[in-house]
Amino acid sequence: MTTLDYLEKLLAFDTTSAHPNADLIAWVQAQLVAMGAKVQIIENAEGSKANLFATIGPGDRGGVMLSGHTDVVPVAGQIWTVPAFAMTRKDGKVYGRGSADMKGFVAAMLSAAKKASGQNLRTPLHLALSYDEEIGCIGVRSMIDMLSAAPHLPLMCVVGEPTGLAVATGHKGKMAARARFTGRAGHSALAPFAVNALYLANDFITILRDVQADLQASGGQDADYDVPYTTLHVGRISGGGALNIVPHHCELDFEIRNLAQDDPQEILQRLKRAAQQIADTARTDAPEASVEIEVFNTYPGLDTPPGAAVVGFVKSLTGANGSYKVAYGTEGGLFNQRLGVPTVVCGPGDMAQGHKPDEFVSEAQLTACDVMLSNLVARLVEGV
């Protein structure tokens, strides 16, 4: 099978994050076992989703790990002109949900594994496939726990998110949090005697925007990013039920996407102190008033030095000269910080095509990725 053959199979699985990925993992497992790979499956508690970790070559040393996630974002509400969960080839492009983000790279991983299985590798090739990356890099953590107990860690990792096969050395970290506001309900005709929870949320949003302005003006700066400073963002807010009732409850979700030099915990503590002041003021009218903040997801950024060995190694596979940093998050920060595995991001396609209707990756990019991974297999035969 070629990379396109593998991709056609992968695109047919609807692995939207809300759905299981077990069928896709079982199919990939069968392919790899037939190649002679050693395969480990790490299931979630329900058995509906799983990570896969496979090794080809000697198992008593480090090796190079290729990493990809198997889940994709939803297509609901999008207008597609081709089937979302099937492969359509047209004008040198391969269409389908996940073609760019990032089943194209997963397909190339399988092609590389097939090539490696027929070689006498001196250094092993590892394949790591995860679930629930799209909702906060959640699934990969159980695989990282498994790897942390292994006798040998990979020497380096390539996360194949779409970079146009440029070598990316960094991305920001992310902290996702929920703020809950409690006021006092009342009739809207007597609104001044109540405490409007939506107003408390509005006061908090003002604080968020003030902190954002401060970070932009005097926080860390990294010109390698499109947005060179740490950002704060409110993505969801809900509260109230009827126009003639002063709402007593409101909640909002916000995020911090931080540069390596900015500590998200310090920013969070700053926000919590401001939230406490909002609550204290509200309690002069309603003792039951409160503001509570809960972090529900976080993952670290990636900040691999440009001179790191993994950067030079992957550049030698692609022929690239420079490196850059990506705006989106990846599982790379977890591999690097929790396992200490040097990591870069490098894969086929463009994230500008990801998450959109008629998502695609070009056939030229897939071919170039095959060349990169063929070069990798040749290096593993020589011994890294």
pLDDT digits (tens, 9 = 90+) for 203-260: 999 999 999 999 999 999 999 999 999 999 999 999 999 999 999 999 999 999 999 9
Q: Band of the pLDDT at 61, cuts 50, 70, 90?
A: confident
Cβ burial of 12 (10 Å; 0-12, 13-18, 19+) is: middle
Q: Residue 22: what pLDDT?
A: 97
Q: Is the peptide bond before 372 cis (omega within 30 degrees of 0)?
A: no
pLDDT higher for 63 or 320?
63
Average pLDDT rounded to a whole number, residues 343-365: 97
Domain 173-299, what architecture? 2-Layer Sandwich (3.30)
Q: Residue 102: what pLDDT?
A: 97
282 pLDDT above the threshold of 80: yes
Q: Residue 227: what pLDDT?
A: 96
SS3 for the chain is CCHHHHHHHHHCCCCECCCCCHHHHHHHHHHHHHCCCEEEEEECCCCCCEEEEEEECCCCCCCEEEEEECCECCCCCCCCCCCCCCCEEECCEEECCCHHHHHHHHHHHHHHHHHHHCCCCCCCEEEEEECCCCCCCCCHHHHHHHHHCCCCCCCEEEECCCECCCEEEEECEEEEEEEEEECECEEHHHHHHCECHHHHHHHHHHHHHHHHHHHHHHCCCCCCCCCCCCEEEEEEEEECCCCCEECCEEEEEEEEEECCCCCHHHHHHHHHHHHHHHHHHHCCCCCCCEEEEEEEEEECCEECCCCCHHHHHHHHHHCCCCEEECCCCCCHHHHHHHHCCCEEECCCCEHHHCCCCCCEEEHHHHHHHHHHHHHHHHHHHHCC
Average pLDDT rounded to a whole number, residues 330-339: 96
Q: Band of the pLDDT at 321, cuts 50, 70, 90?
A: confident
How far is residue 204's CA from residue 251's CA, in Å, rounded to a whole number? 11
Average pLDDT rounded to a whole number, residues 39-64: 94
Q: Residue 59: what pLDDT?
A: 77
List active site positions. Answer: 71, 133
User: Residue 83 contacts by C-beta under 8 Å, 6 or more apart in sequence?
Assistant: 96
Question: Tokens 């109230």 belong to which residue?
Answer: 240
Distances (CA, A) of 378 to 8, 61, 117, 124: 26, 17, 12, 11
Residues composing the chain: 384
User: Residue 135 contacts by C-beta under 8 Å, 6 or more apart in sequence?
Assistant: 17, 71, 297
Residue 116: count of CB within 10 angstroms of its CB: 25
How far is residue 315's CA from residue 346's CA, in Å, rounded to a whole number? 10
Q: What is the pLDDT of residues 285-317, one digit of tens each?
A: 999 999 999 999 999 999 999 999 999 999 999
How far is residue 162's CA from residue 166's CA, in Å, rounded to a whole number? 9
Question: Tokens 């704060």 belong to which residue?
Answer: 232
201 pLDDT above the threshold of 80: yes
User: Are the CB atoms for 228 and 222 separated by under 8 Å?
Assistant: yes
Cβ burial of 41 (10 Å; 0-12, 13-18, 19+) is: middle
Percentage above 90 pLDDT, the chain: 97
60 pLDDT above the threshold of 80: no
Question: Quick one: fold of 3-171+301-382?
Answer: Aminopeptidase (3.40.630)
92 pLDDT above the threshold of 80: yes
Question: In the chain, what are the domain boundaries?
Answer: 3-171+301-382, 173-299
- Residue 379 backbone dihedrals phi, psi, to 5 degrees: -70, -35
User: Are the CB atoms for 175 and 298 separated by under 8 Å?
Assistant: yes
Q: Residue 320: what pLDDT?
A: 86
Closest CA to 208 of 232, 229, 236: 232
* Displacement of CA 328 from its chain's centroid (Å): 7
Across all residues in the chain, what is the average pLDDT?
A: 96
- Residue 47 backbone dihedrals phi, psi, to 5 degrees: 80, 10
Average pLDDT rounded to a whole number, residues 335-356: 96
User: Are the CB atoms for 94 and 361 separated by under 8 Å?
Assistant: yes
Question: Tokens 């590892």 belong to which residue?
Answer: 126
Residue 271: count of CB within 10 angstroms of its CB: 21
How far is residue 121's CA from residue 110's CA, in Å, rounded to a whole number? 16
